[in-house]
Chains A and B, each alone.
Chain A
Amino acid sequence: MAEMDTSSKGGGHKKGPGVKKGKKLSTRVDLTPMVDLGFLLITFFIFTTTMSQPTALKLFLPKDTEKIEEQNKIKESGALTIMLGKGNGVYYYEGLLLPDGSNFKMSNFKDIREEIINKKKATNPEDFVVVIKPGPEATYKNTVDILDEMTINDVKRYAMVDIFDTEIQLMKATEASAGIK
């Protein structure tokens, strides 16, 4: 405790006659300001501390090959192509893009997970591959998010590929009709 035992109940040496007893001062200190100060400093350190260390997300790039016979063939039935547009927009199609663009669908970062899971279930694991095509308006965050989605859904094979002009056109048309700025 913050006070000392100054009472002299029982015992204690007797003082001689004529020796005046000193005034007993309480040694009890008010600790409230000290507690205030303590908590103030705690708040300061809590706010300035960086508890979460940055993490590293690894990415392996495929090698660009000019020769067609060396390129990795993917089965169109097992492919899911995801495109990233502006305003956090996500677009996808399964297999090959039909000439009329009828299998080009719009999605968002929440719903695309469902789509990946469904596609993964429906296809042979050997053939399943996700092709990621970030558009010129996609942000770095979108790119990392979709790569992260691959880890989350345990997609073994995925590749980041350049987007085609036709896909950009389709994306722009869809964005325009949906009013995405």
Chain B
Amino acid sequence: MPKVKLPRKSTAVDMTAMCDVAFLLLSFFILTTKFKAPDQLAVVTPKSVSTKPVEAKRVVQILMDKDGKIYFTVGDESVSEKQDIIDMVDQQKSLGLSSQEKAAFAKTGSYIGVPFTQLKSFLQLNADQLKKFNAPGIPIDTANNELTVWMNAAVRAFSVSGDKKMNLFVKGDNSAKYPSFKGVIDAFKKNEIFKFSMITDPEGVPEGTALFKKRQAGGKEE
């Protein structure tokens, strides 16, 4: 029998197509990517089935870290409100803050996590010192709930300046204990705030539940 000669084929594959796909995907990801803003505090939020996106305007946010410490921040675009808030707090608690210290609060990305007694020295810190600063959190005990004062100022500042109310958010860490959250709620209640949102990560609805059926049917949720 004659030997069958197999023609030797080249193993080189044309990479052009693959290259095209790779760069197409690359450009897609470059365009869609949105870098996370570096958070001052590492907070891992719990998950919920809620699908409502977080509104980013007129934000007042209460942060709760994993030790249950409370921080207060106002959205950066509400500059005049921020100014109003610090003015009111200064007046109400007669802290005697200088205009420089007030400006430190109004600047972008600032958050408050100290009792009023330390507020003056806290606002004097520069950026480097702030990084190292270990904030004790705003006191929220029943006897001395300082968040109430902050919330009061926020409510007044936002009602003066605009037609729309503030968007109040609580962003808490998974392992924060309930009493901290309770203190936050108490501060809200004292200021007659009965409506707020909690920031969560999206999660799928378990199959077979009432909500699952509702969404399948395309019903509206409130």
Chain A positions within 8 Å of B, measured between CB atoms, are 1-2, 30-32, 34-35, 38-39, 41-42, 45-46, 48-64, 84, 113, 117, 134-145, 147-148, 151-154, 160, 162
Asked if A52 and B202 make an inter-chain contact with CB atoms under 8 angstroms apart, the answer reads yes
Asked if B210 and A48 make an inter-chain contact with CB atoms under 8 angstroms apart, the answer reads no
Query: Main SS of the interface on chain B?
Result: mixed
Asked if B48 and A57 make an inter-chain contact with CB atoms under 8 angstroms apart, the answer reads yes
Q: Which of B49, B52, B172, B175 contacts A152 (CB 8 A)?
A: B49
Q: How far is the CB of A117 from chain B (nearest CB, A)?
A: 8
Q: Which of A61, A153, A154 contacts B189 (CB 8 A)?
A: A61
- Residue on B nearest A139 in the bound complex, by CB: B175
Asked if A2 and B29 make an inter-chain contact with CB atoms under 8 angstroms apart, the answer reads no
Besides A2-B14, A45-B26, A151-B49, 17 other A-B contacts (C-beta < 8 A): A35-B18, A38-B25, A38-B26, A41-B26, A45-B30, A50-B36, A52-B201, A53-B53, A56-B200, A57-B200, A60-B195, A135-B178, A136-B177, A137-B177, A139-B175, A144-B172, A151-B221
- B108-160 CB contacts (< 8 Å) to partner A: none
Inside 8 A of B45's CB, which chain A residues have their CB? 54
Q: Which of A49, A53, A148 contacts B32 (CB 8 A)?
A: A49
Asked if A42 and B180 make an inter-chain contact with CB atoms under 8 angstroms apart, the answer reads no
CB of B71 closer than 8 Å to a CB of A: no
Q: Which of A46, A60, A140 contacts B194 (CB 8 A)?
A: A60
